[in-house]
Structure 1
Amino acid sequence: MTEPVADPAALFDDDYLYFFEERLEGVSDADTDRIWKVLDLAPGMEVLDLGCGHGRIANRLAERGCRVTGLDLSGTFLERAREVAAARGVTVEYLHEDMRNMTWSGRFDRVVNFGNAFGFFDDADDQQVLAKVAEALRPGGRFLLETINYPRYVRDWQPSSVEEHHGDLVADVHRLDPLTNRSIATRTTIRDGRIRREPSSHRLHTYTELRDWLRGAGFTSIDGFGEDGAPLTAEHRRLMVVAGR
C-alpha cells in the first residue's frame, strides 16, 4: 500500500505561528532544560536542531553557549527563527533544506529532533533520515528524537480538535489509519475571513519500532524516556528516544 505523505512546508507557515507560537514559547524554556539534561549538553558543543521550526529550541541552545545549526523545510519558520536570533543576540546557522538531503559526516556532537518533527515522509525516507543523522554525528555523539507516545495517544485519541485565537479558528479533523499507522487529517483555518484547508499525514511510532529503526541506522545504545525524564511508561504523553553511536 502506498503511504500518504504531507507537505510540511505548507503545514508549518504563518497561520501555524499565528495560532501556536505563543503557546510553544510558553514551554520552550522547560523544553530546552529537558533537552540539555537528557543529552548531557555543554557549552561549546556542536548541535544540529533537525526540523528546527521557528528556532525556539535552537536559539535557546545558542544562548547557553552551543554552536547551533538549525535545518528546516519551512522558509516562513526560518525567517522567524532568524528574527528572534537577532533580537536575542545569538548566532545560529539556519539552513532552508530537506532533512532527507543532509550530507554531513562526523560534524555534530548532538542532534535534536524535537516536537513531532519526524514522520512526515514515507517509511523508507524516514529510515534514511535516521541513517543520515548517524552519519552526521561524531563518534560518541548522541541523538534525541522527541514525539508522541503511541500507547497514550491511542488511549486519548479524539477525532477532532478546535483552537481559537483572537476570534479566528483552526480545526483538525483526523483519523488513525491502522494499515499505515498514520494520523491523517484535514486542517481548516478560518482567519481574517479567509478559509483554508490543508491535508496532513503524520506517521506514528512505538518506542520499539523507533529502537529497531535506529539500530538499523547504526546506533548502538538506545533508551526511552517520558516527558519527565523517567523511564518510558504507557502513561507518558511524550516519548524521548536517546540514541548514541
Structure 2
Amino acid sequence: MSYEQFAYLYDELMKDAPYDEWVRFVKERLAKYDVSGGRLLDLACGTGELSIRFADEGFQVTGIDLSSDMLAVAQAKAEKKGVRIPFFEQNMLDLDGQGQFDVIGIFCDSLNYLQTEEEVKETFSSVFQHVNHDGLFIFDVHSTFKISHGFIDQTFALNDERLSYIWNSFSGEHEHSVEHDLSFFVLDEQSGKYDRYDEFHYQRTYPVELYSNWLHDAGFELLEVCADFEPKSPESHSERIFFVARKK
C-alpha cells in the first residue's frame, strides 16, 4: 500500500474521528488497573494526532510508524504546537532500541493492516518485550462484523469543492479481510484543476478468540475485551473491539 499522498490528506479525511474517546479510554484503563508512570508508545501513530493529544495530557510519548510521509506530517504538527515527541520510522514487529514503556497502544484499527497471523503474533511478542512489568497493552481492531457488513461490497464517496473521493471495498483473499480501492481528486488552487491520486489498502481481522489466544501465548494477562469505546462485552453487531492486556 502507498501512503505518500494519503499522508497529506489523512487529517482532513479523519477530522471527525473520535480521538478524544481513545484518550479517555486509555486514561480510564490506566486508572482502573492502577498503572503508574506515563511513558506511552503510540504504535502506527500516523500523522501524530493521538500522540499529540496524549502529550497534552501529560504523557511522555514516543511515536512509531512505517510511513516517513506520515511521520513528516506528525513532526510538523508537534513542532507547531510546541510539543516534544520523538518519532521513529520503524516496524511494529521489531521494536529493538526503544526501551520500556508503561503503556503501549495500537489505535485506530492500525493492527488490521498486518497481513498475516504471524505478523500479529510477532507484534504481540515485540510489544511484550517493551512494556514494563504490570504495564498495559491496549489496542482496537475492526470486528469481523464490521469487515463483512460495513466494508465489503460497499462504496463510499465524498463530493467536496477541495477534496473528493470514491472508495470501493471488496472482499479480500482471506476470511475477514477487505481490499479498499480509493481514488482522490484534490484541487490544485493555482491551476484550478483537480489532481487524481489512487490508493490501495488491505485490512484483515480475526475473531476475538484468536486475538485472546495470541495475547496469552505472548505472555499477557487479558484484562478486558469490550466494544465501541464502552465497558461492555462485544455483541454480534459491535464494530470496534478493544483489548486491554497486562504484562505479568
Match of residue 168 from structure 1? 163
Offset of residue 85 of structure 1:
2.0
User: Is there any run of 5+ residues in structure 2 with no aligned partner, and where?
Assistant: 188-193
Q: Does the 8 A contact of 2:112 with 2:141 survive in 1?
A: no
Match of residue 15 from structure 1? 9
Q: Does the 8 A contact of 2:35 with 2:135 survive in 1?
A: no
Offset of residue 12 of structure 1:
4.2
The yes-or-no answer on 1:91 pairing with 2:93 is no
Distance 1:146 1:48, change over 3 A: same
The yes-or-no answer on 1:130 pairing with 2:124 is yes
Offset of residue 170 of structure 1:
1.6
Match of residue 106 from structure 2? 113
Query: Does 228-237 or 44-53 show the bigger shift?
Result: 228-237
Q: In structure 2, what residue type is equivalent to 1:68?
A: V
Offset of residue 8 of structure 1:
5.5
The yes-or-no answer on 1:199 pairing with 2:190 is no
TM-score after normalising by structure 2: 0.84
- 1:184 and 1:104 map into 2 onto residues whose CA distance is 33
Q: Secondary structure in 1 aligned to 2:24?
A: helix
Q: Secondary structure in 1 aligned to 2:134?
A: strand
Q: Does the 8 A contact of 1:42 with 1:65 survive in 2?
A: no
- 1:87 and 1:11 map into 2 onto residues whose CA distance is 21
Distance 1:188 1:110, change over 3 A: same
Distance 1:90 1:132, change over 3 A: same
Q: Secondary structure in 1 aligned to 2:139?
A: strand
Match of residue 76 from structure 1? 69
1:1-245 equivalent positions in 2, closer than 5 A: 7=1, 9-10=3-4, 12-17=6-11, 19-24=12-17, 27-40=18-31, 44-104=37-97, 107-123=100-116, 124-157=118-151, 158-177=153-172, 179-192=174-187, 193-226=194-227, 227-245=229-247
Distance 1:88 1:39, change over 3 A: same
Count how many residue pairs are aligned between Structure 1 and Structure 2.
236
- 1:223 and 1:11 map into 2 onto residues whose CA distance is 37
What CA RMSD, in Å, does the superposition of the two structures yield over aligned residues?
Answer: 2.4
- 2:215 and 2:224 map into 1 onto residues whose CA distance is 11
User: Is there any run of 5+ residues in structure 1 with no aligned partner, and where?
Assistant: 1-6
- 2:161 and 2:105 map into 1 onto residues whose CA distance is 33
Q: Does the 8 A contact of 1:105 with 1:137 survive in 2?
A: no
